[in-house]
Chains A and B, each alone.
Chain A
Amino acid sequence: MSYIQFADVSKIYKVGDTEIHALSNVNFTIEQGEICVVVGPSGAGKTTLLNVLGGMDSCTKGQIAVDDRIITDFRKRQLINYRRDDVGFIFQSYNLVPNLTALENLELVANLSNKAVDCMELMRLVGLERRANLFPSQLSGGEQQRVAIARALVKKPKVLLCDEPTGALDYETGIQILKLIKRASEIMNMTVLIITHNNAISPIANRVISMKSGRISKIELNDTPMPVERIEW
């Protein structure tokens, strides 16, 4: 059985009388340790897919299994624990707590987890050990995103979900961030799901899922992912 499995997953939003099919009958699998890129235009349902996989949202129909556990059957408390222990999130807009320094942002998560990695160690990993005591607003976008990655890694998640991690960054920084994500995935044997509308990122992935209007249009497997340095956009 694959590590992540989507079986006939549909998500329908009801806005007034109209129904929006954000996901319709999505089926795919991702193996453990893979880097999977989900591409598609805006409104293709990429973020919805990430939300339901991350336990931030429920799906209307179908089953999602992660590491042999069916998360679509989870109760609220189980979902909280799932988010707390198993899933790391990286957002386009970093979503750091502005009131806390970079290090404290990590500690916020570390305090919740009992398998937390040493926070300062992680800051070193993302190369920000010297800037650990600055507030998010004092850091550049790339640095903030690196803090966000570090924060996602604190709890050693099984799955790392990245929503347009490079969306707000320039090319160079974006490359850096992707490298970091890839390295972390290798070190921690994490399964990574990157959502992007930037097709250029696809070559680095083991698996590329293309989406369109809430449906999967194509799944490509790539046995020889390209090193991050070589991609361009």
Chain B
Amino acid sequence: MKKTLLKDTLRSISANKLRFLSVIIIVALGISFFVGIKSSSPAMGYSANEYFRINNLLDVRVTSRVAFSEDDIKKIENLDNVDYVVRSKYVDAVVSVGDSSVVDASGTQLTCRISPVDVDAARAFSETGQADDSYVNRLVLKEGRYPEKAGECVIDAGAVKNYANLEIGSVITLSGDEASITDSLRTEELTVVGTVDSPMYISTERGTTQVGSGALSCFAFVSESDFSTNEINELFVKVKYDDVYDKFSDEYKEIVTTLSDEIEEMSSGIIDSKLSVLKVEYEDKISAKQKEIENYNKSSADELTAKQKEIDEFKAYVDSEDEILTNSKQKIENEKASYKSSLDRLNSEFNTLNATYESNVKTYEGQSSEIKGYTDLKNLYDELNLKHTADKIKLGELEAAKNAAQSDYDYKKSSLDIAKSNVTYYENRLSNLASEISKLKSEISSLELERKELQNSVAVLESEIKTLEKRIEELDKKYSGGTITSLERIELLNSRTQLSSKTNELSSSNSRIKEIGTQIPKKEASISTKTTEQTDASTSLSKAKDAVTLANSELNAALSALNSAKSSYDSFKSSYDADTATLNKYTASMNQLTSGQGKLTELADTISKQETELEALKKRLTEAQIRYSLSVRNGSVTLQKAQYDLDNAKTRYYTIDNELTELKTKIAEKKTNLNGDLKKLRNTLKNIDSITWTATAQSALTGHSAFESSMDNILSMSDIFPIIFLVTAMIACFVIMMKNVEEERGSIGLLKAFGYSNFVITGKYVSYALLAWLGGAFLGGVLGTCIVPSAVYSIFDIIYTVPNVGAVFNFKYISLGLGISFVTTMAATFMAVVRELKMYPAALMRPKMVGYNRRSLLERMPEFWNSLPYGIVLLIRTIIRSRKRVAVGSVAIACCTALILSSFGLFNSVTDVSDSQYGDDGIFNYDVQFVLNAEQNPSDSAVLNSVREDKLVNSAMLISNNSMTVSSVAGGSSIEGVHVVVPSEMENIADYINLDIIEGSANLNEGGVVLSQKLAQSLDAVPGDIIYFTDANEIVHPITVIGVVKNYIGHYAYVSPEAYEEVFLAEPEYKYLLCSLKDYMDDDEIADFSAGYLKTEDVAGVATAETMSRSADNAIRQVMVLVVLFVLSACLLAMIVMYTTSNVNISERTHEIANIKVIGFSDSEVLLYVIRENLISTVIGTVIGLIGGVFLHNALVNLISVENIMYGTSVSWWSFIVATLIIVSVAVVASLPILFKINKVDMAQELKSIE
């Protein structure tokens, strides 16, 4: 390629780094998931193969109940394909730690397989990784060390993890079922010094055993010297060139299966001769045993009779002694009673008196103290009284002084009054005189006035008289003259009368004047006397006034003296009065005091009287007491003697009785043992016919097939998940590359116009695509090879001990993933480029013609269409316009939503499990399961009865629980560790185990077996099918399936006691006791309860629902890893796809964006306008994804289901919500960068006219 063009390519990468990066990440995600999950399964296989090779795992394990002879081994060694044979031995035992048996998750007793290990070789292997071929099934030391001395062992690391009381340092006690452990081992107690993994047991299952419940719980290794037996009962066969084979390949399986078949066939011939010998031996043993039992029966019967006789004799003696004792007891009792009654009477009398006495004393004391208070008061009173008397005298004196002052004052006052009255008198006199004088004076003046008037009237009268006289004269003359007229006559007459009256008047006036003239001097004389008198009175008055002043001053002096006397008296009087009041108050108290003292004296008398009485009574009482105790002591001496005799007799009697009981127990035990031995011998004899060698191919070892099916599960899971992922990624990639080219059509046209060949131009874009793809492929390859398989394997880590080797370069899947992604990326680029190149340069350089939009179907209905809101119209237009992008976005979102939802669903399923099984409404409703030491008879079991009587227990039932292997066809692929549960009480099973029927019937009385769901699924069994149970003795029993019930953890088969007997030809061994406790008990109380029973002899072990669910919970954490992985990658993918598609969208529509920005859309409105299709695809994708997620989850659960766990298939509501929230926020986050892009769109530039 031309250098400039290369530059151009690199520039276009750096111009849009994010998009380039997106392509890389999309490719990387797609490839890593595809490669990663696809290669997880091969990686597991590779890891396992490596593990088996390095640890030199056996190819075929041969075991025999009859020891192998060297000849036998030779024969095996000589078989084709056999490289070499390693000899080993094992012994299975029931394990207990300390006092109690250890109980495993299904509530059964812990069993252990002990084998020898070459300690030196093992140690060397652990340190250097090197070992001889002869060291097979090499152990991996996890913790601690290998045994260094006798009695030490290394134990199963998985068991230590699961069983709380198994740990390094604990001492385990072993016990066998039939044979004693010491037949094989030198010791019954082993100290755990280390933990190991063995390649023989890669899963949590340990296989079957003939001891305990039938399920092997763990294994242990001791140094070879700890084995006392030399019998070889286990051989490890290695085939030739076994390292060459893939242990999971059909070829290898064929080889080992054929070999094991050969060995088993061979055994029948070899073993027959041994068996007949063995048979005879056992028959002899049986007859010997029978004889022994007979003999024992007889001898024990004799012994018993003798003992019984002895005891009967003794019984009579004891009875007589007893009677004596009873009689004397009665007599003593009577005597005692009479004394006692008199004593009691006295006592009560005494008590009554004493009570009165004491109450009196109390009263006395109370009153005494009260009186003492009064006495203090009395002293105060006396003192006050004394003072009061003195005060009284003083008061008298003061009063006298006051009275003297008063009388003095009074005298002075009267003097003053006299003086005052004098003054008044003189004053009055003076005023009288003055008034008299003035009266006289006024009389004088009035007299003078009168005189004057009189004088005046005299003058008038005199003139008038003259006038009258003159007239009279005239008239008289006339008259005399007779000239007088009548009138004048009358006038003369009148005037004459007038004259006479006037003359009279004149004379009276004159006399009056004269009289007045005499009166006045008289009066004047009287005035002058009065005036002298007045002067005298005046002098007297002033004298009297002086006397008043004097008297007044004297009075004042007397008054002040009086006042002082009065005040001193008053003040003293008031203090005196106060004292008087106080004294009066006290006087009442004093009176009380006096009376109180009187009473007190009386009381004291009474008390002293009572004291004497009491004293007398006491004396009598003491006498009575002495009498009583004397009689008691005498009586008890008598009694003690009698009792002593009786006790002696009884002790001896009990001793004999105990001896009898012991004898009985011993006999019973011995008989049971003998019978048990006999039964076992008979069983063994019965089984001897069927004894063969058992050859187990490596692929049939416990856990190996499970491991393989896990691998298969992942493989099938890898057919769904990564493909969806890859497809999504590739669609996105395709769209991006197409758009990438389309965007550059201008420059393609330009290049073409310049004359670049199509090849070169194509090269430019192909190189861009190639670079992106290379980056993605590299990243994806690394992730897919290194990270993803480890993450996937981590969920199986809990079950399998196979170490994860890590990166496995899986050429097939890597090349497939790379190929698909390469083709998609390149094809997209090519198609786009070729399409563009077909056009003429000029056309290319013009903006792409936007063909007219498709009309939606709705537009065919104009009325409806026109009535739609504008927003909806825009929405529909957007969907139709960007249908491809919407589709791609929807698919991406849908895939991611489905992935997220199913991941959460997976989490739901896993968390559900233990709760569904052991929870309150789960399958197992019982609270506690006891493992009993001895087989119980359901109709008469002491343990059962005692548990049922416990107040904390609601109900209890015995069950039998055997671990067996089940297959759907005789000899076909089998499932180990199936718990065959037989309830002792058919009608009550629902109280303990919830047989929630799925198919068929749960009525065990119909005679068949009811299987748990997962078991039925694994066996592919439906009601009506016949399945085959293989018991610990390798005997196969067919039985019909009648129903399938819900179950989540473990495999269970429920059988009725009748059916059990019929099918297994033996009675069920009821060694388990299920307890349902009172509802109010919490976990701690349940633990206390079970711990209490664990201490009793009958109970060997306990499992509570809580302890059983704990182990299941571990799985949840593992699945979380996968959930997080899926969710994160799904989010990443969704985000990148959304981002890239919308990014492409933006680049394509900058012109339109500029256009609507010019119109006046704000940035947020533009965003909404542009990402509308993102929103649409989010909504569509989420809905589809949620629906798809449910299906995906179902598929997943079926695929990943491990071993015996049945995962729940429901997805909880919160998973839907969280998944939706996550995906919506992913869409939102992916849309955010677009906001910046929108901001950057330059309107002016985009809309510029072409000039």
Contacts and interface: CB of A to CB of B under 8 A. Distances in A.
The residue among A85, A97, A111, A167 with the most chain B CB atoms within 10 A of its own CB is: A97
B873 A83 contact: no
A12 interface: no
* Contact size range, A: 35 or more
A83 B1158 CA distance: 6
B1152 A112 contact: no
A7 interface: no
Given A84-B1159, A109-B1159, A57 B1249 contact: no
Nearest to A112: B1160
B1158 A54 contact: yes
A29 to B, nearest CB: 23
B1156 A108 contact: yes
Contacts of A14: none
Nearest to A51: B1244
B1156 A107 contact: no
A152 B1248 CA distance: 17
Contact of B852 (A77, A83, A112, A138): A138
A167 B1152 CA distance: 20
B288 interface: no
A51 B1244 CA distance: 6
A3 interface: no
B878 A99 contact: yes
A213 interface: no
Contact of B1152 (A42, A91, A98): A98
Contact of B1160 (A42, A85, A104): A85
Interface string B1148-1178: 0001100111111110010000000000000
A107 B877 CA distance: 14
Contacts of B849: 137
Contact of B1249 (A81, A91, A108, A135): A91
A89 interface: yes
Interface residues of B, number: 29
Interface string B841-874: 0000000011111000000000000000010011
A81 B1161 CA distance: 9
A106 to B, nearest CB: 11
Interface string B1212-1251: 0000000000000000000000000000000110011111
The residue among B1244, B1247, B1249, B1250 with the most chain A CB atoms within 10 A of its own CB is: B1249
Contacts of A83: 1157-1160
B850 A91 contact: no
A111 B870 contact: yes
B1250 A93 contact: yes
A27 interface: no
Interface in A67-104: 77, 80-81, 83-85, 89, 91-93, 95-100, 104
A135 B1159 contact: no
Contacts, number: 88
A57 B1241 CA distance: 12
Contacts of B850: 98, 137
Contacts of B1159: 83-84, 89, 108-109, 112, 151
A42 B1158 contact: no
Contacts of A93: 1247, 1249-1250
Nearest to B873: A104
B881 interface: yes
A97 to B, nearest CB: 6
A80 B1162 contact: yes
A29 B8 CA distance: 47
A60 interface: no
A32 interface: no
A219 interface: no
A56 interface: yes
B853 A97 contact: no
A189 interface: no
Nearest to A48: B1244
Given A56-B1244, A111-B870, A84 B1160 contact: yes
Interface in B19-38: none
Interface in B178-192: none
A120 to B, nearest CB: 11
B872 to A, nearest CB: 12
B853 A135 contact: yes
A164 interface: yes
Interface string B1132-1161: 000000000000000000011001111111
A108 B1172 CA distance: 15
Nearest to A96: B1155
Contact of A99 (B853, B1244, B1247, B1248): B853
Nearest to A135: B852
A99 B1249 contact: no
A95 B1247 contact: yes
B1248 A47 contact: yes
B877 A95 contact: no
Contacts of A112: 1159-1161, 1165
Nearest to A43: B1251
Contacts of B1250: 92-93
Contacts of B1151: 95
A108 B1158 CA distance: 12
Nearest to B1158: A89
Contacts of A138: 852
B1161 to A, nearest CB: 7
Interface string A20-45: 00000000000000000000001000
B1162 A77 contact: yes
Given A84-B1159, A107-B870, A137-B852, A100 B1247 contact: no
Contacts of B1156: 97, 108
Interface in A187-214: 197
Contacts of B853: 98-99, 135, 137
A143 interface: no
A81 B1159 CA distance: 10
A175 B1155 CA distance: 25
The residue among B849, B881, B1162 with the most chain A CB atoms within 10 A of its own CB is: B1162
Contacts of B873: 104
A111 to B, nearest CB: 6
B1160 A164 contact: no
Contacts of A85: 1160
B851 A137 contact: yes
Given A84-B1159, A99-B878, A56 B1243 contact: yes
Given A112-B1161, A137-B852, A164 B877 contact: no
Given A98-B1152, A138-B852, A164 B1249 contact: yes
A97 B1157 CA distance: 12
Nearest to B1249: A92
A47 B1249 contact: yes
A192 B650 CA distance: 135
Interface string B1024-1057: 0000000000000000000000000000000000
Contacts of A155: 1160
Given A54-B1158, A56-B1244, A107-B870, A197 B881 contact: no
B877 A100 contact: yes
Given A51-B1244, A137-B850, A138-B852, A56 B1155 contact: no
The residue among A51, A99, A138, A163 with the most chain B CB atoms within 10 A of its own CB is: A99
A136 B852 CA distance: 7
4 shortest A-B CB distances, which residue pairs? A84-B1160, A92-B1249, A137-B852, A98-B850
17 contacts: A47-B1244, A77-B1162, A81-B1160, A83-B1159, A89-B1159, A91-B1247, A97-B1152, A98-B1152, A100-B874, A104-B870, A108-B1156, A111-B870, A136-B852, A137-B852, A137-B853, A155-B1160, A163-B1249
Given A108-B1159, A112-B1165, A151-B1159, 11 more contacts: A54-B1158, A56-B1247, A83-B1160, A84-B1161, A89-B1158, A91-B1249, A95-B1151, A104-B874, A137-B850, A137-B852, A197-B1251
Interface of B: 849-853, 870, 873-874, 877-878, 881, 1151-1152, 1155-1162, 1165, 1243-1244, 1247-1251
